[in-house]
Amino acid sequence: MVEKVAVVGLGYVGLPIMLSAARSGYSVLGIDLDGKKVEEVNSASIDFENIDKNEISKFIKSGTLMASTSFESIKDSKIILICVPTPLNFLRKPDLSFLELATKSISKYLTKNALIILESTVMPGTTRDFVIPILEEGSGLSRQDFHVAFSPERIDPANKIWKIENTPKLISGYTERSRDLALNFYSKFIKTTIVCKSIEIAETAKLLENSFRFINISFINELSIFCEKLKIDIIDVIKAASTKPYGFMPFYPSVGVGGHCIPVDPLYLSNAAHEIGVSTKFIDLADQINQEMPSYFVGRAEEKIGGLNGKRVLVIGVSYKPNVADIRETPVEALILGLKNKGADVFWHDDLIKKWNGEKSVALSNDYDLAILATPHEYLDLNKLGDVPLLNTRASIK
């Protein structure tokens, strides 16, 4: 009999997991409250990076995969993965509302001996002290009646080298049995699995991974300001430093950080530290630097063309990283707002996004006083700008 798996949350984490599980022989149910997304999955018309529509169609037709807005079918699944967003709220504090809703919905249909795996990024202790009590209360079962594991997602959209199958996977469990069940599941389609001694170690490791990137991106952004003042190309500096075969890893300047992980996860770590009276000066300073980068480039734009009031400015690329159609936490939004606040008439171009904030992407042309390269997608042909001055946020003097 084919074992059934339910994946709650059909985004950049849930969709790839669904396909990987289906490939390895599981019957997979995807659950999302977004009816349009569910319809797009079931019709194999959903448009996501690294997602093969033909493969989805094959699994749909074979009955191996389907999507639904209803949680009721969870009662037939012995493995349930939670892959919902854990963003920041308007106070830039951890927002567990999506996780709470998903967990409560799962608990209503939870059966004995089911395995629930949390993949969403959370603060240390969340799986043990937040998720498990909700499952108990909603199901009427005790935590000894079901299994809980934590295995943080490691998804990098548009990465052509590191996929789910070849990216090492951290696995932890509330009990040894929970851990072993999760290990057995992931080992079916992931080459390398790493067992953590506790759930809290795995939760903290995920926060460390992205805090490392967050701090180093802020450092290189700060260094790029230094290099710009000295008229040194930061990219050449990074290339030179990268020739060292040990003790160095290259990071690159930008308008700031965006996406569902890098600007969010470090603040989960910072919040957890502050709750127990521990300082996180590096993270707090890194956050400040990255928050200030859009304003810095507004100032650079003013200098480049002698003021922005009444000027036509084109911002090129609005997604948070090159070659992905994702605007979550994009720092380009703050850049555009800053330009508008200086009186500029701002337009933007991004063929991967097309529509955003009630506006549409415009064509690249020479009909502007200034162009700002914010997100350098591979498809861009900057020759279409003609003689329009270009401010490149990815290099200090170009």
Residues serving a catalytic function are 261
Q: How far apart are CA 332 and CA 322, in angstroms?
A: 12
Give the distance from CA 265 to its chain's centroid.
Answer: 10
User: 83: which 2 tokens?
Assistant: 């892959």
Q: 156, 152, 182, 181: which is closest to 169 by C-alpha?
A: 152
SS3 annotation, the chain:
CCCEEEEECCCCCHHHHHHHHHHCCCEEEEECCCHHHHHHHHCCCCCCCCCCHHHHHHHHHHCCEEEECCCHHHHHCCEEEECCCCCECCCCCECCHHHHHHHHHHHCCCCCCCEEEECCCCCCCHHHHHHHHHHHHHHCCCCCCCEEEECCCCCCCCCCCCCCCCCCEEEEECCHHHHHHHHHHHCCCCCCEEECCCHHHHHHHHHHHHHHHHHHHHHHHHHHHHHHHCCCCHHHHHHHHCCCCCCCCCCCCCCCCCCCCCCCHHHHHHHHHHHCCCCCHHHHHHHHHHHHHHHHHHHHHHHHHCCCCCCEEEEECCCCCCCCCCCCCCCHHHHHHHHHHCCCEEEEECCCCCEECCEECCCCCCCCCEEEECCCCCCCCHHHHCCCCEEECCCCCC
Phi, psi of 126 (to 5 degrees): -65, -45
Q: Is 16 exposed, middle or buried (0-12, 13-18, 19+ CB in 10 A)?
A: buried
